[in-house]
Amino acid sequence: MLDAECEIKKHATFNSAFRIPHSPFNGVTFIEAINNAASRLTAAGVTNARLDAEMLLCHALGRNRAWLITHIHDAFGDEVRTLFESTVDRRATREPLQHIIGTQEFWGLEFLVTPDVLIPRHETELIIESSLAFIRDRGTPQRIVDLCTGSGCIAVSLAKELPRAQVFATDRSAKALDIARQNARVHDVADRIRFFEGDLFGPLEELDIQGQVDIIVSNPPYVSAGELSTLQAEVRDFEPEMALIAGPEGSEFHERIISAAPGYLRQRGALIMEMGVDQAVRVAGMIRENGQYGQYEILKDLAGIERVIVAQRK
């Protein structure tokens, strides 16, 4: 009996030493948890996995990255560990980081985002840069129209930069407009942005602003129907198709906007639109063929992609 008891104790000690904990983050420090999470996210095909792991941990902690760096060797509390685990689980399914933490930075501002709006991209900031450059020598614009406003990131950013301007923003999605209105309130510009539900210029037809708009900006849908399956899982499976798919060609919204914009623009007013990869030649052709625009310019983003077209009404 003595030998048997010793054998039982020996096996119990062995199993205890090598038992897999209930959570991969039990009893570990923040830096260890980040490394573990980054490895898992990398295996799931997530790009920038380590940065995402850090951002998810900051979200769970309710702290910024500067705080995290100075506390990187602290250990987890139970509540933080549980929240962090759940967010890593979600990100491993390729759910966008921005949907998990609920915000995205754009033009130095934090914007609320949900699955009902397109996540603001940094390349879209080129629209803001182009708008500000266009009006630099022309004085502060009085009226700006933002088509397909989504989260409102363009409209809100321009309203912040141009405190004397009035902005009209439209979108087909009522849910997107709810988010845009929240963002306008958060950034104290709600009194200077009017939001309208409807397709492109449709909701503006009765406002009597034809020929009185200084700048029309838009980041319209520009993905062709056939391209959807080729997009990253984060985009294809989680972002709203209404904000992505333009139609069979991908440039259907550009064509409609180019056709209608001259009726709203002042003389020498500007149409500023974002484009997809390899769409610049087609969109520039539409501008030339329309006949109501004078000079135009195509601008590249930081990746060297022809991303934004700025066309001036004659």
Residue 198 has pLDDT above 70, yes or no: yes
Residue 6 has pLDDT above 50, yes or no: no
Average pLDDT value for residue range 199-226: 96
pLDDT attached to residue 139: 73
pLDDT attached to residue 25: 56
Locate 307 and state its tokens. 């991303």
**Does 235 share its domain with 174?**
yes
**Does 291 share its domain with 204?**
yes
**Does 130 share its domain with 81?**
no
User: Does residue 265 fall inside a structural domain?
Assistant: yes
Cβ atoms of 122 and 63 closer than 8 Å: no
pLDDT attached to residue 19: 33
> Which residue range(s) make up the domain with 208?
103-313
**Does 82 share its domain with 126?**
no
**Does 58 share its domain with 153?**
no
User: Does residue 64 fall inside a structural domain?
Assistant: yes
Total domains in the chain come to 2
**Does 165 share its domain with 63?**
no
**Does 145 share its domain with 285?**
yes
Residue 4 has pLDDT above 60, yes or no: no
Which contiguous run of DSSP H or E holds residue 272? strand 265-274
Locate 120 and state its tokens. 């603001």
pLDDT attached to residue 136: 82
Query: Which ranges of the chain does DSSP label H, i.e. alpha helix?
Result: 2-18, 30-43, 49-61, 65-70, 78-92, 97-101, 125-135, 153-161, 174-186, 233-238, 241-244, 252-260, 280-290
**What's the CATH code of the domain at 32?**
1.10.8.10
Q: What is the distance in angstroms between the CA of the first residue and the CA of the last residue of the chain?
A: 101
User: Does residue 277 fall inside a structural domain?
Assistant: yes
State which of 11-20, 73-82, 125-134 shows the largest mean pLDDT.
125-134
**What's the CATH code of the domain at 268?**
3.40.50.150
103-147 pLDDT, tens digit per residue, is: 999 999 999 999 999 999 999 999 999 999 998 877 777 899 999
269-280 pLDDT, tens digit per residue, is: 999 999 999 999
Output 38 or 5, whichever has higher pLDDT. Answer: 38
Last residue of a domain, one of 93, 127, 150: 93
Last residue of a domain, one of 68, 93, 118: 93
Last residue of a domain, one of 93, 120, 151: 93
